[in-house]
């Protein structure tokens, strides 16, 4: 008996040591991965990246950190508690709210628009809730601007009289306005405002107190300002909602909800543990129904469903309004979640979450550095150098950034930004001159150079530039030139 006891003790100790060794190895792997991702994003801050990321595996947080500035003017840094606009990730909340109403027996996926709206045109009457959820109803993507406040009646009048892109149910065509219709259906069926319903039936059960439009008690010091291309300050979207006292129908239901990394992680946890949706309804929530790529990408009820090169399921969605960009990726079988937000939107940083995903699953993958977007590159140069250094800027463009300046749009837009901001007009003129050197046969760039001279009070130079633009068939320059030549008072 004594010998058996010793063997059992020895085996137990072996199990303990083995488990401890495995745990230590896993912890070490997590630490190495955390450092790898953190170094990649930290290095990117100098090139204009700002935002936040949360990475978890099997519910364990590997990295949760902010980078760069939430508010440049006040020198407020991004943190895991910073509030970002999540854009079209709003759609997953709308989809979940519809599922709750179906669960409450107040709604069916097969219900038609004619059940909720009167006097619909014939081609809209039989569109179903399911078709709205899956972007197969045929609506165009959007119309109007995010903060255009037209009445609800006019919004839906314009929408219901617009032409469909295709017969409902036959194709996938991504549509923001389809989700705005769903938001109105939620209101009509529940008798509550859209945000109120989400707050009561989704956010509160999940423990999310910093998610919404107007309802949360926002700390203004935690509201990120959005910087388009890390250059144009678009402000905080929450601040605009608070100033307006309402949310535009161009946004409601399809975009514009604000949240934090930590709240969005609570959302994932609530879905995983069936706090907000029962198992059967959660399965409906993430079931792929239709999409542009059969087998590789399909749409569920507010989620995109795709497949990794490991042949595992990726549940994800992205959102962007130009200044803010947001991604949520859930590698379902591996239970790896990446929640990413940036307030310095540009093509160079919008897909960082997918780069991080590669870093997680391929230990040999080496991510290239986050590049300066061309707008930030030029602005950074103009802030550090006087206009007489314009030739050096042109040399750098040709040597290191030629692919970013394959057309005249970038320098043109930056020149006008400087004019609008009434900053260094000499730099605006120099940028327009560089554009003329790069694209001498485009009338538009000569027209812009004329505008630069005119803004700086250089009338004669403006006239010569507009003349050249007219020679190159730029019609906009004709009136400007006539005004300068014949309206001298």
Which among 165, 184, 167, 160 is positioned nearest to 175, based on CA atoms? Answer: 165
Q: What is the pLDDT of residue 67?
A: 98
Which among 318, 322, 321 is positioned nearest to 354, based on CA atoms? Answer: 318
DSSP structural state of residue 200? I
Residue 317 CA: distances (Å) to CA of 329, 337, 445, 479: 7, 12, 38, 47
Q: What is the pLDDT of residue 488?
A: 58
User: What does the buried/exposed string (b/e) look like for 357-374 if buried means 16 or more CB atoms within 10 Å of the residue's CB?
Assistant: bebbeeeeeebeebbbbb
Q: What is the pLDDT of residue 295?
A: 63
Give strand pairing partners of 31: none
Give pLDDT tens digits for 446-476.
999 999 999 999 999 999 999 999 999 999 9
Cβ neighbours of 296 (radius 10 Å):
10
pLDDT in tens for each of the 489 residues of the chain?
444 433 334 444 544 444 444 344 445 578 999 999 999 999 999 999 999 999 999 999 999 999 999 999 999 999 999 999 999 999 999 999 999 999 999 999 999 999 999 999 999 999 999 999 999 999 999 988 889 899 999 999 999 999 999 999 999 999 999 999 999 999 999 999 999 999 999 999 999 999 999 999 999 999 999 999 999 999 999 999 999 999 999 999 999 999 999 999 999 999 999 999 999 999 999 999 998 766 688 999 999 999 998 999 999 999 999 999 999 999 999 999 999 999 999 999 999 999 999 999 998 999 999 999 999 999 999 999 999 999 999 999 999 888 899 999 999 999 998 898 777 899 999 999 999 999 999 999 999 999 999 999 999 999 999 999 999 999 999 999 999 998 754
Tokens 């569920």 belong to residue: 300
Q: What are phi and psi of 326, to 5 degrees?
A: -140, 140
Rounded Cα distance between 218 and 239, Å, is 9
What pTM, to 2 d.p., does this model score?
Answer: 0.89
Give pLDDT tens digits for 91-100.
999 999 999 9
Looking at domain 374-486, its CATH superfamily turns out to be Tetratricopeptide repeat domain (1.25.40.10)
Rounded Cα distance between 189 and 129, Å, is 12
Which token pair is 333?
Answer: 């079988």
**Alpha helices (H) in 233-310, listed in sequence order:** 237-244, 261-272, 279-285
> For domain 84-361, which architecture applies?
3-Layer(aba) Sandwich (3.40)
* Sequence-distant (≥ 6) Cβ neighbours of residue 444 within 8 angstroms: 408, 412, 469, 474, 476
Q: Where are the domains of the chain?
A: 84-361, 374-486
Contacts 24+ apart (CB under 8 A), 20-28: none
DSSP SS3 for 350: coil
């Amino acid at each position: 008996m004594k010998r058996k006891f010793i063997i059992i003790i020895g085996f137990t100790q072996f199990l303990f040591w083995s488990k401890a060794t495995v745990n230590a190895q896993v912890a070490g792997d997590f630490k190495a991965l955390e450092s790898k991702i953190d170094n990649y994003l930290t290095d990117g801050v100098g090139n204009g990246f700002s935002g936040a990321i949360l990475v978890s595996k099997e519910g364990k947080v590997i990295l949760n950190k902010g980078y760069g500035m939430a508010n440049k003017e006040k020198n407020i840094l991004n943190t895991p508690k910073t509030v970002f606009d999540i854009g079209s990730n709003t759609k997953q909340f709308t989809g979940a709210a519809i599922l709750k109403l179906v669960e409450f027996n107040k709604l069916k996926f097969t219900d038609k628009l004619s059940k909720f709206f009167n006097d619909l045109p014939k081609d809209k009457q039989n569109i179903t809730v399911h078709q709205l959820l899956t972007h197969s109803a045929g609506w165009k993507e959007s119309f109007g601007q995010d903060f255009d406040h037209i009445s609800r009646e006019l919004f839906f009048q314009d929408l219901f009289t617009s032409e469909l892109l295709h017969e409902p149910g036959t194709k996938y065509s991504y549509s923001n306005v389809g989700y705005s219709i769903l938001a109105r259906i939620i209101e009509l069926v529940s008798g509550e405002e859209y945000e109120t319903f989400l707050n009561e039936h989704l956010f509160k059960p999940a423990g999310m107190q910093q998610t919404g439009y107007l309802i949360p008690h926002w700390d203004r010091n935690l509201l990120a300002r959005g910087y388009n291309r890390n250059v144009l300050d678009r402000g905080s979207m929450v601040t605009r909602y608070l100033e307006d006292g309402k949310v535009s129908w161009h946004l409601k239901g399809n975009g514009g909800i604000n949240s934090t990394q930590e709240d969005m992680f609570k959302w994932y946890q609530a879905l995983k543990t069936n706090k907000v949706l029962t198992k059967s309804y959660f399965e409906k929530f993430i079931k792929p129904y239709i999409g542009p790529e059969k087998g590789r990408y399909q749409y569920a009820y507010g989620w995109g469903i795709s497949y990794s090169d490991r042949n595992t399921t990726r549940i994800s969605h992205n959102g962007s309004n130009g200044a803010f960009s947001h991604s949520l990726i859930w590698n379902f079988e591996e239970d790896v979640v990446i929640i990413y937000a940036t307030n310095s939107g540009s093509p160079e940083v919008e897909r960082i979450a997918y780069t991080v995903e590669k870093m997680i699953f391929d230990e040999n993958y080496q991510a290239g550095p986050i590049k300066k977007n061309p707008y930030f590159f030029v602005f950074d140069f103009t802030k550090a150098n006087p206009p007489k250094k314009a030739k050096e800027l042109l040399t750098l463009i040709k040597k290191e950034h030629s692919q970013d300046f394959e057309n005249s749009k970038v320098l043109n837009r930056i020149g006008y930004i400087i004019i609008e901001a009434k900053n260094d007009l000499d730099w605006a003129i120099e940028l327009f001159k560089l554009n003329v050197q790069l694209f001498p046969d485009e009338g538009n760039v000569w027209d812009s150079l004329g505008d630069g001279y005119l803004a700086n009070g250089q009338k004669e130079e403006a006239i010569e530039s507009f003349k050249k633009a007219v020679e190159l068939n730029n019609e906009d320059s004709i009136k400007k030139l006539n005004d300068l030549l014949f309206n001298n008072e």
